[in-house]
Amino acid sequence: MASLAFSAKGQCISVSKMVVSDKNKHKREGLFNINKVIFAAKRDNTRGTIVTNVASQLPAIIPSPVIDVATDQNHVAWTSVRQERWEGELVVQGEIPLWLKGTYLRNGPGLWHIGDYKFRHLFDGYATLVKLHFENGRLMAGHRQVESEAYKAAKKNKKLCYREFSEAPKPDNFLAYIGDLANLFSGASLTDNANTGVVKLGDGRVVCLTETQKGSIIIDPDTLDTIGKFEFTDSLGGLIHSAHPIVTDTEFLTLLPDLIRPGYLVVRMAPGSNERKVIGRVDCRGGPAPGWVHSFPVTEHYVIVPEMPLRYCAANLLKAEPTPLYKFEWHPDSKAFMHVMCKASGKIVASVEVPLYVTFHFINAYEEKDEDGRVKAVIADCCEHSADTTILEKLRLQNLRSFGGVDVLPDARVGRFTIPLDGSPYGKLEAALDPDEHGRGMDMCSFNPSFLGKKYRYAYACGAQRPCNFPNTLTKIDLVKKKAKNWHDEGAVPSEPLFVTRPGATEEDDGVVISIISEKNGDGYALLLDGSTFEEIARAKFPYGLPYGLHGCWVPKK
Ligand SMILES: CC(=O)/C=C/C=C(C)/C=C/C1=C(C)CCCC1(C)C
Ligand SMILES: CC(/C=C/C=O)=C\C=C\C=O
Ligand SMILES: [Fe+2]
């Protein structure tokens, strides 16, 4: 049955795609009102129930039937997406600049259950892609599940079939357990749930990614269709990679952690190719395994390889039940390092010990020159969680869903590494600005992509207005003035602010910042801030709030 569910206030709280019987025709095809916005629901046999915003064509408000009332007390940010897909035009308040032509894509783990089985961790959810297509001041939006093998198998078999970040399928018996271990070594049991990010390659292909190499999935940025697997054709092997490759029009750089002989391969792939080529290798300097490399930064001439004391743990990989640090272990005695590799030669030009740190996301890096123009140091910035691994635990869904007004978000800062290139054995790690400027919360960052690897001034990220249990502000960081400007909507959870440069811009912050907001009352909207003033320039409400999403990219109009 098709179901449109409405709350007592007349808000549409659910529109589900299901098999429709004739007597439900009035529900599957017709007009309905979601928060005073008129939508049309139409049955399409190949695509399910498609809901389109037709507010611009229809004047009247249609009375909303009360079919069901939401009982879910959870914040919509941490509640599974309501239906597999939706698309339609959004009504815009404010003005979208006419130069903004293209599609913002955001990926993230938006579905955290299979039937009655509920996932534990934010990172476990099945990938939900959201698109915001901007053209002529109008905004066409949509969302859709990524059709990974893991998602399709879970839907078909109504159970978890692959190993996710914290979840593993329960073997039925001992023999199955042995088979499961074999599948783990071959990678067959690992997830391909590409729920972390989405990137546009130099050749135009758009790929959703996660930390497993097999979880690299090509999608169509217009329809959000899953096109197929991105297969790496080289023989580099390995099962995992950094979730955040550095992608430009001319190259794709990433790190492949080596769990057998602890170290990292630094690899490059050219546009149009599926073959990665090795630039060089870094051997780990401490610990039993490489440090987790969720992301890494580059400068114009160097790739920076972080070696964090939060290291992969082979024993934890084999466990079916999550350990406190999931697939990782904290090894403070193994120390922390930063390595610098020359992109052209693959040679390591610096390898320094640094204070202990915990980061998911590097922001940017650049080369610092002396008066004679010689590079004396590399500066690398990251969202640093005060060397405190409890942030991983804070991202458990149960913790995210149980905010009771008590401040529990561990302190974070813009961690600035200074890595000397003069052979000194130690590097520095300091806060780039007073963390109180951004409420001591800091993650999910972006910057003007023309400044990739270059000295830059502005970063955009999520900070905190306390008390909170998750970053809840959008913040513009000025690294020169050491100041932050913060945007906040009480009770709302904003996703990573993505900076899009205005064509022809000469100032670093000339552009817009795009974010998607999940509101306290279950609603949600797309938000556009001015990159320079950081004031709101437009917002557009979705028919219903969307779950939190992680990382996005900008696909300019061809
Ligand atoms: C969503 C996000 O930011 C991170 C997702 C990470 C995933 C899915 C990691 C998966 C892994 C396995 C399934 C086994 C091997 C280790 C590891 C890469 C952590
Ligand atoms: C949501 C997150 C990491 C996402 C990885 O892709 C980190 C949030 C940290 C909070 O301060
Ligand atoms: Fe990430």
Quick check: 407 pLDDT over 50?
yes
The CB of 443 under 6 Å from ligand 2? The reply is yes
Q: What is the pLDDT of residue 451?
A: 98
Q: What is the pLDDT of residue 171?
A: 82
Q: What is the pLDDT of residue 275?
A: 98
pLDDT digits (tens, 9 = 90+) for 519-541: 999 999 999 999 999 999 999 99
Minimum mean pLDDT range among 174-183, 222-231, 382-391, 519-528: 174-183
Q: What is the pLDDT of residue 321?
A: 84
Please tell me the distance between residue 231's alpha carbon and the centre of ligand 1 in angstroms: 18
Q: What is the pLDDT of residue 273?
A: 98
pLDDT digits (tens, 9 = 90+) for 369-382: 999 999 999 999 99
Instruction: Enumerate the β-bridge partners of residue 511.
Output: 501
Quick check: 45 pLDDT over 60?
no
* Structure letter (DSSP) for residue 409: P
Minimum mean pLDDT range among 311-325, 327-341, 408-422, 499-513: 311-325
- List ligand 1's pocket residues with C-beta within 6 A: 109, 123, 163-165, 190-191, 195-196, 210-212, 240, 243, 317, 327, 550
Please tell me the distance between residue 23's alpha carbon and the centre of ligand 3 in angstroms: 46
Quick check: 7 pLDDT over 50?
no
Consecutive H or E run containing 370:
none
3-class SS at 377? strand
Tokens at 266, concatenated = 């630094």
DSSP string across 483-520: EEEEEE-TT-EE---EEEEPTT--STT-EEEEEEEE-T
Q: What is the pLDDT of residue 73?
A: 55
Average pLDDT in the 235-256 region? 98
The CB of 496 under 6 Å from ligand 2? The reply is no
Q: What is the pLDDT of residue 342?
A: 98
* Closest to 165 (Cα-Cα) out of 103, 123, 133: 123
* Burial class of residue 54 (count of CB atoms within 10 Å of its CB; 0-12, 13-18, 19+): middle
pLDDT digits (tens, 9 = 90+) for 50-108: 444 433 332 222 232 222 223 335 899 999 999 999 999 999 999 999 999 999 999 99
pLDDT digits (tens, 9 = 90+) for 288-305: 999 999 999 999 999 999
Q: Are 410 and 388 in contact (CB under 8 A)?
A: yes
Please tell me the distance between residue 12's alpha carbon and the centre of ligand 1 in angstroms: 35
The CB of 500 under 6 Å from ligand 2? The reply is no
3-class SS at 324? coil
Three-state secondary structure readout of 225-294: CEEEECCCCCCCCCCECCCCCEECCCCEEEEEEECCCCEEEEEEECCCCCCEEEEEEEECCCCCCCECCC
Which atom of ligand 1 has the smallest separation from the CA of 162?
A: 13
Q: Using CA positions, which residue lies closest to atom 3 of ligand 1?
A: 196
Which atom of ligand 1 has the smallest separation from the CA of 163?
A: 13
- What is the C-alpha to C-alpha distance for residues 469 and 330, in angstroms, rounded to an integer? 22
Q: Using CA positions, which residue lies closest to atom 12 of ligand 1?
A: 165
ipTM at complex level: 0.95
- 319 — pLDDT class (breaks 50, 70, 90): confident
pLDDT digits (tens, 9 = 90+) for 255-278: 999 999 999 999 999 999 999 999
Within 13 Å, how many C-alpha atoms sit on residue 533's CB side? 6
3-class SS at 201? coil
**Residue whose tokens read 């590079």:** 375
The rounded percent of the chain whose pLDDT value lies above 70 is 87
Q: Are 268 and 250 in contact (CB under 8 A)?
A: no
The CB of 493 under 6 Å from ligand 2? The reply is no
Mutation pick for ligand 2 pocket among 193, 384, 391, 444 (CB with most ligand atoms within 8 Å): 444
Q: Are 509 and 497 in contact (CB under 8 A)?
A: no
Quick check: 476 pLDDT over 70?
yes
Please tell me the distance between residue 537's alpha carbon and the centre of ligand 2 in angstroms: 26
pLDDT digits (tens, 9 = 90+) for 278-288: 999 999 999 99
Q: Are 386 and 406 in contact (CB under 8 A)?
A: no
Q: What is the pLDDT of residue 33?
A: 36
Q: What is the pLDDT of residue 174?
A: 81
The C-alpha angle 376, 379, 384, rounded to 5 degrees, equals 150
* Closest to 83 (Cα-Cα) out of 544, 548, 549: 544
Specify the pTM.
Answer: 0.88
The CB of 326 under 6 Å from ligand 2? The reply is no
Q: What is the pLDDT of residue 183?
A: 83
Please tell me the distance between residue 209's alpha carbon and the centre of ligand 1 in angstroms: 11
- What is the C-alpha to C-alpha distance for residues 201 and 214, in angstroms, rounded to an integer? 17
Please tell me the distance between residue 184's alpha carbon and the centre of ligand 1 in angstroms: 13
